Structure 1
Amino acid sequence: KIISYTINGDEFISWATSLDGYTLLGNSNGDIVYAVINETGQMVKSNVLACDYQYRTIEDNIFLSTIKKGLFYNSSQIERFEQNRAQLYSDNSQNNTPTTGTPNFLVILVSFTDIPFNSANATTMQNQISQSNYTTSGATGSVKDYFFDNSMGLLNANFTVVGPYTLSHNQAYYGAETEYDHDSLPREMIAEACSLANPNVNFANFDNDNDGTVDMIHVIYAGRGQHNGGGTNAIWAHSWTLPTLPSFDGVNVYRYSCSNELRTTTSVDGIGTICHEMGHVLGLPDFYDTDYEGSGGQSIHLGNWDLMASGSYNNSSRTPPYLSALERQILGWLTPVTLTASTSNCTLPAISDSNKAYKVVLSENEFFMFEHRNKKRWDAYTPAKGMLVFHGDNNLINPWLTSRINDINDDPFDRGYFIIPASGDSTNINSTSTTFPGSTNQTTFINSTLKNGTSTGKALTGIAYGADSVITFSYVNNTPTITILPPTNITTTTATLNGNVTGSGITSKGFEYRVLGTANFTQQAVTSNPLQLTLNNLSINTTYEYRIYATTSFGTIYSPIETFSTDCGLIINPPFTETFDASLSCWNQTSSDTNHFNVVTSGTSPSCSPHSGAKMLKYNSYNIYDNNWTALFTPKINFNSNNSYNVNFWIYRTNGTYSSQQEGIEIYLSSSQTLNSATLIGFISNDRTATPSISSDGWYNYTCSLPASTTGNNYLIFKAISGYGYNIYIDDISITQITINTPTISYNSTTNITHNSATFNASFTQGAQTISSKGFKYKSQNDANWTTLQNSSTTSPFTGNVTNLNPNTTYYVKSYITTQTNNYESAIDTFITLPIISPIVSTDTATLNNSLSAILYGTYTQGTYSILTSGFQYKKSNSSTWTTLYQTTNNPAFSNTINNLDPNTTYQYKAFVSNITALFYGETKSFTTPVIPQTVTTNQASNITATTATLNGTITAGSETITSQGFEYKLASSSTWTTITATLNGNVITQNLT
């Protein structure tokens, strides 16, 4: 069996991917197997050998039906890998390796007991590392040349290459994988290599700054590395430190780097990996995503532009790109020119010829860096020539400089150093339109923002090539912000251009437009903002270019150029099919360069005939550099909201040496003939091994569905993207329609009505469309606007509870359903909220316990609101102050006892209750306490003699005042009483009779 795969990762995290997208891992036998997810969610090795699809057995395909493509390590595994990275880099203290002068650097070649280092390769390796002006076999230069050129002569290292020496163990001993380490004992290999070289090397000569540590040791081991197909027992090229410090000739070995002898089974590896790993020793971080799918996914990084990203592999590792301005700054070779005030006539030589770059500080931590790349010498295999604009964030760069934290571009949503492409979105970093002016002739850099989206107000204008291939531009420190928006209202002869211009110091603004391919723009000023300009008397079925301009005292700033095409007068009503056997009438195109689809009768590279009829479309991607493109726009298509639609077309798919899975057709939907704001709805590669794969070359029918929200007039866009592979052929584009069942919605009833609340009840049937929201809308009879009450359930029937209604009010209510295309509503229903009912309070007749105590009684009926308090108030009838008694509990019939009353006194009283709105009283009633009479007791007379006696008695006062007291006495035989008054002493009364 044969397996073809790509290797991904680095010395900490790695995996492989089959051509059709399955994740692969290597086992200890050197076999490549499919990855699976185990019961704990971790990605592990299966026991099934991987192979290309054409060699798979029935058993293989049954197994593959049980796993997904694109598997990856889970978060716990990534965390462990990152712990390993952090541990090794935390030991890698701040760099002291000299980056200027003529330091001595040591390279040691080693063999394994089972893999010898080829002697001829050893000579080649020695030469391509240490020679000056090395050009053997078409080489761009040596390692020595690379660092000399990038430093502009500041670093002229003397490389000593020794060996090869044979290590004491086989490759697997040093390089076999463990669960979380790709290599078992690579640092033991380094220490042993130094011991083997010690008899022939004076290590003290390589401590250039006399700090007791060797400055640069690079070991090249026999065979391939794990990173270029050497297998799981091979060592992945890396740069680490030794855990213990072996000492030779009085100096320690601490920091090192290493790489492999071979790139393929027979070809010597180029210098790219050596320069990358030595770059770490010199002090450079990685600029690729070092945790890959961790931290939110794969980041877009510096790619082929940068040695410390993936540029080390340019031209089979023979031509790594020039170091960026930031990297040169880190190594002390470049100090960027910082722009502050607006400046005209800035000149920027290529970084191949100078150590000049410009920098604009945006905030405390963010900045732009501008550098010029020219496709010569070390940049010969970069994607394009022109000026690159980098956006940097010191919050993520400085941790490397201070602590060797190597995660500058890990988070795709928070990158530390990245390219802002001249055209396209953030993914367009490896094409001819990445640079300024580039293939799209972008002469301005405007509308830039901080990472949080805040406008910077900084701009470059007049970006152009001057004499001697020097880029010139003007810097504007406080520029207007220009936003160009898609055109609207496009007809056969009219169109409306739209945009915004904001900022100060603008003396004029407006649009410029011209027919595509003509030289001169027509300028039309617009005074309003947002900008809007309706163009009349345009030519039918014609493509126009347009841009916004804004003039300030510093000059005129332009937006990027956009295009639109006037209608041809044709509106297509699906279903329809286009076979391309006639001309491309009403089908317009735009492209990244001058290449477009052409109608042909036969095809080459690959050889093919039209799918049907006599003609088909061809995009000449076989001869067009990768990431260039053309976009084909259909005539205007009228889509009915009650239908769903599929787009179908045939594409010829092949596979060969130059195949690229990124080459193919993207399908977009747009309301205008522009890619600006268009919606991507599908992609199919012309590489037949890409998903969905097919077993042999031939025509393939690709289908994608239009969004359910598609309605009204729109355009389909077929964007062919070159991978510099094989020509792209398509044929027989068609749109089919499917009538869909629409949902229904019914309002059922209103229940649980109170004075301020109610429950709405409704039901629905879903139909064929996806329901995005549903609920109720209601308003009072006198309101103009409806209030929406959403319901999140997925079942029918459904309810909604509404509160804060007004009492005794008529309301309208209806239910609704919203899909991606329409809003459906029920008939309107009405209901009336209840009125507010006040509580009714009764003061009942009191009862007297005695002259000093009474029991008060009351009752209430609650009404609308709950009773908060209840009780009584009472007072003497001649008083104005009421005393309040609260009940401990609220009951409809209640009573309370009052004591310490005054006798013979009239009291008034009333019951009360309160709710959230007010205090409510019953009627006021009264009662009078009774009189307390005096108690008079006649006691036995005392001191009786023949002529005298003392009369005795007691008097207890009642509630009335005593006005007189005394005794009455008479002879027993007499009928006449004699009254005498006496003095009351306390409650005792006496009187002496004589």
Structure 2
Amino acid sequence: MKLIRFISLFCSLVVLFPVSMMAAPANPTPVVFTQKDGSTVTIRQFGDEHYHFTKTIDGILVVGDGNGNYVYADAKGNPSGFIAKDAAERTPDELKFLESLNQSEVHSKHKALNGVRFPETLAPSVIKPAALLRANKRVSSFVTGDRYFPVMLLSTDDAEAFDSAKVYKKLNKKGYSEDGHVGSMRDYFIESSGGKFKPTFDVYPISLPMIFGEYRNERTLITSAIDKLVEREDFKKRAEKYEEECPFILMHPLSNEEASAYNADYYSHQYTLRALMKSVYTKDGYTFNNYAFVSQKDEDTGKLNRLATIAHEFSHVLGLYDLYGVDAEGYATVGPLPFDLMALGTRNGGGRFPPTFSAFERESMGWMLLDEVFPDSLLRPHMLEPLSEMHAYSITNPKHGDEYYVIEYRPAVGFDSKISESEYSGIQGKNGVFVWYVDYDETAFYSNYPNSDPNNLHIDVMQVLDSKNTYYADFSYKREKGKTEIPGIFDLKVYGDSLVCFVLTQEEGVKACPKPKPSAIGAVRSSAPFAPVQMRVLEGMLTVQAPVPGSKRLKIVDAMGVCIQDIPFEGESVQVNVSSWARGNVLVMVEAGGKRVSSRFITVR
């Protein structure tokens, strides 16, 4: 069966097309905000970068006045002259003003003025997985290998920046563990990519001469910071490590709430200078375009912002989409909420444990291959390693190749260990075997709204299975009345954090999936100095990608223990035509330097 599932080609095209502004949903937890006159008001924020708004605790719409205050919105949705206060502190004149307003109409007027602030444009392009091997050669090195990105840590005349050494450690230090973290942002992307993407975030303190409120628009703030950056000798010495159109992170010194009181656009987001300014920005021979705009200060704690928030915005720079949907009140309610960084995984474990990229996202980035499951393998057990080993299955609608299920295993380890502890949604996840549903729709993903319609989600976690929940059926499809012969997962067996085994029919239980011995099965661990080995059978060809240095050997052993192939190779990949082989499971092993670095059972059709 020829797959026509789409795989994202990011990076090289990110810089060719302006993209819609993207960000995480606002946190609606009440926050006590201090006005410039010293008074306070308790506010809540809703929505995201496409449309976000702020209300008092009793539901009055408030807006920034451009001077660092929140004021009541007037009948037209614009700033009034009344500084916002909590209900018990309002004067008779303020109460009279508010009684004259219909808050529902005020909100509608405000949305009409601000709801289309950033018009939708094309997100990064995509390609079809049938050409995956060719595609991998075309994917920009922007998301592979050792890459370097400048981070501008801003301070202004009235707002100090966080300590740059502290920020650098949070972004880069291996095994970063301060304040209960399980790793740095660099650790997060190395883990999510299986070692294929190793970013370093160079932190540059940038001191701007005016007070924050005098930088009235995003263009002025960013270009003023860039002008300072390119004057730094340490930047000049490292500039050759950056991309030609340099992607960057700008961290301003306030929280989202504080910054939004000056400019509604100053909400953490991703954008491009080409879209913002109608051109890239060039200064002293250096060119800048794609960026993440992030607050330094967490609105809840006042501490350095959550690792997950920064990682979410930077993931947009890489090209990933938001996967949540919001209700009429701007509250994220649908999608893979606690399971994905691009949804509400930004709130897992206090924002210190962003869930690693899903198999769907890893395949989209060109970091892994999915093993397709075919109907003729129903009677054989399927062994699934943890997602950290870059292993997952796909089951595709035979009538529409862009609609499919993804099966991945996530034990409660590392960044994924707090999926059951989200602070935002009220919907808690759990660890185990995730069954994702993907209905790839070009228009929905291009517009960064794949889950805008709660009745027609394009990607979601449909079920999570563990040893106490061993049954999931009905791999059904919506498009073209597709119906696969693979009914569901049955008789799931869990072997610690290293392996799960299941069958796809009620006719047979798991009988031939013995508990693995240490190192008997598994790709190279993500802690190794190179990326995991990946294997896939597609259209009669076994492809093995082994980014392991030196001479290697590919060995294939049949069910009787007989070695049927022994192939030496030098490069990073090798292919074997298996179209004429007998159907069944074979053990594929890769050796380097006389030692086994990977072994995996695969199914030959």
Please indicate the TM-score interval, normalised by the length of the shorter structure: 0.5 to 0.7
Aligned residues of 2:139 and 2:366 also touching (Cα < 8 A): no
Instruction: Determine helix, strand or coil for the equivalent of 1:262.
Output: coil
Instruction: Determine helix, strand or coil for the equivalent of 1:3.
Output: strand
Q: 2:461 aligns with which of 419, 442, 462?
A: 419
Task: Give TM-score, length-normalised by structure 2.
Answer: 0.63
Aligned residues of 2:61 and 2:107 also touching (Cα < 8 A): no
Aligned residues of 2:152 and 2:225 also touching (Cα < 8 A): no
Question: Partner of 1:31 in structure 2?
Answer: 69
Aligned residues of 1:203 and 1:249 also touching (Cα < 8 A): no
Pair 1:285-2:321 in alignment: yes
Tell me which amino acid in the other structure corresponds to 1:172.
G
Tell me which amino acid in the other structure corresponds to 1:231.
A
Aligned residues of 1:272 and 1:307 also touching (Cα < 8 A): yes
Matched residues in 1 for 2:351 and 2:261: separation? 19
Q: 1:392 aligns with which of 438, 446, 462?
A: 438
Question: Partner of 2:351 in structure 1?
Answer: 317
Q: 1:14 aligns with which of 52, 56, 60?
A: 52
Pair 1:331-2:365 in alignment: yes
Question: Partner of 1:675 in structure 2?
Answer: none
Q: What whole-Å deviation, never above 9, does each CA across 1:100-143 have from its counterpart, x for those lacking one? A: 2112222222212321214xx22210111122121123222111
Tell me which amino acid in the other structure corresponds to 1:134.
Y
Matched residues in 1 for 2:465 and 2:373: separation? 18
Matched residues in 2 for 1:12 and 1:95: separation? 29
Matched residues in 1 for 2:102 and 2:394: separation? 46
Q: 1:527-542 maps to which residues of 2 (within 5 A)?
A: none
> Aligned-pair RMSD on alpha carbons?
3.8
Question: Partner of 2:419 in structure 1?
Answer: 382
Question: What's the CA shift for 1:239?
Answer: 1.8
More helix by share: 2
Q: What whole-Å deviation, never above 9, does each CA across 1:497-522 have from its counterpart, x for those lacking one? A: xxxxxxxxxxxxxxxxxxxxxxxxxx
Q: 1:90-489 maps to which residues of 2 (within 5 A)?
A: 96=140, 98-118=142-162, 121-162=163-204, 164-174=205-215, 183=218, 185-197=220-232, 200-202=235-237, 204-207=239-242, 212-214=244-246, 216-226=247-257, 231-233=261-263, 235-243=266-274, 244-247=279-282, 250-264=285-299, 266-289=302-325, 293=328, 300-341=334-375, 342-343=377-378, 344-351=380-387, 353-362=388-397, 363-383=400-420, 384-396=430-442, 399-400=445-446, 405-420=447-462, 422=463, 435-437=464-466, 441-451=468-478, 454=481, 456-457=483-484, 458-462=486-490, 464-469=492-497, 470-476=499-505
Question: What's the CA shift for 1:24?
Answer: 3.5
Tell me which amino acid in the other structure corresponds to 2:177.
T
Q: What whole-Å deviation, never above 9, does each CA across 1:927-951 have from its counterpart, x for those lacking one? A: xxxxxxxxxxxxxxxxxxxxxxxxx
Question: What's the CA shift for 1:195?
Answer: 3.1
Question: What's the CA shift for 1:468?
Answer: 2.2
Unaligned runs of 5+ in 2: 1-38, 127-137, 421-429, 511-605
Q: What whole-Å deviation, never above 9, does each CA across 1:50-106 have from its counterpart, x for those lacking one? A: 4444545676666655656677854995697446242596999x9846222112222
Q: What whole-Å deviation, never above 9, does each CA across 1:430-471 have from its counterpart, x for those lacking one? A: xxxxx2248xx4422223433469574543232534212333
Question: Partner of 1:957 in structure 2?
Answer: none
Matched residues in 2 for 1:193 and 1:47: separation? 36
Instruction: Determine helix, strand or coil for the equivalent of 2:496.
Output: helix
Structure 1 residues 446 and 88, CA gap change in structure 2 (3 angstroms):
closer
Matched residues in 2 for 1:66 and 1:349: separation? 62
Tell me which amino acid in the other structure corresponds to 2:405.
F
Aligned residues of 1:388 and 1:419 also touching (Cα < 8 A): yes
Q: 1:61-80 maps to which residues of 2 (within 5 A)?
A: 74=108, 77=111
Aligned residues of 1:26 and 1:232 also touching (Cα < 8 A): yes
Pick the structure with greater CA Rg. 1
Instruction: Determine helix, strand or coil for the equivalent of 2:313.
Output: helix
Aligned residues of 2:72 and 2:83 also touching (Cα < 8 A): yes
Question: What's the CA shift for 1:147?
Answer: 0.7
Instruction: Determine helix, strand or coil for the equivalent of 2:151.
Output: strand
Unaligned runs of 5+ in 1: 177-182, 423-434, 477-550, 557-994
Matched residues in 1 for 2:224 and 2:473: separation? 52
Instruction: Determine helix, strand or coil for the equivalent of 2:206.
Output: strand
Instruction: Determine helix, strand or coil for the equivalent of 1:281.
Output: helix
Question: What's the CA shift for 1:276?
Answer: 1.2
Q: What whole-Å deviation, never above 9, does each CA across 1:127-172 have from its counterpart, x for those lacking one? A: 111221211232221111111111122222233222x121243322
Q: What whole-Å deviation, never above 9, does each CA across 1:719-766 have from its counterpart, x for those lacking one? A: xxxxxxxxxxxxxxxxxxxxxxxxxxxxxxxxxxxxxxxxxxxxxxxx
Tell me which amino acid in the other structure corresponds to 1:447.
D
Instruction: Determine helix, strand or coil for the equivalent of 1:125.
Output: helix
Instruction: Determine helix, strand or coil for the equivalent of 1:11.
Output: coil
Structure 1 residues 124 and 448, CA gap change in structure 2 (3 angstroms):
same
Aligned residues of 2:474 and 2:488 also touching (Cα < 8 A): no
More strand by share: 1
Tell me which amino acid in the other structure corresponds to 1:385.
N
Q: 1:35-54 maps to which residues of 2 (within 5 A)?
A: 35=73, 38=76, 43-54=77-88
Tell me which amino acid in the other structure corresponds to 1:159.
F
Matched residues in 2 for 1:201 and 1:12: separation? 36
User: Paired residues, what number?
Assistant: 440
Q: Which has the higher contact order (CA 8 A, sep 6+)?
A: 2
Tell me which amino acid in the other structure corresponds to 1:258.
F
Matched residues in 1 for 2:104 and 2:195: separation? 46
Instruction: Determine helix, strand or coil for the equivalent of 1:84.
Output: coil
Question: What's the CA shift for 1:398?
Answer: 7.9
Instruction: Determine helix, strand or coil for the equivalent of 2:406.
Output: strand
Matched residues in 2 for 1:80 and 1:3: separation? 23
Q: What whole-Å deviation, never above 9, does each CA across 1:915-938 have from its counterpart, x for those lacking one? A: xxxxxxxxxxxxxxxxxxxxxxxx
Identity of aligned residues (%): 22
Question: What's the CA shift for 1:199?
Answer: 6.3
Tell me which amino acid in the other structure corresponds to 2:192.
N
Matched residues in 2 for 1:74 and 1:236: separation? 21
Instruction: Determine helix, strand or coil for the equivalent of 1:466.
Output: strand
Aligned residues of 1:22 and 1:68 also touching (Cα < 8 A): no
Structure 1 residues 297 and 3, CA gap change in structure 2 (3 angstroms):
closer
Aligned residues of 1:299 and 1:409 also touching (Cα < 8 A): no
Tell me which amino acid in the other structure corresponds to 2:148.
N
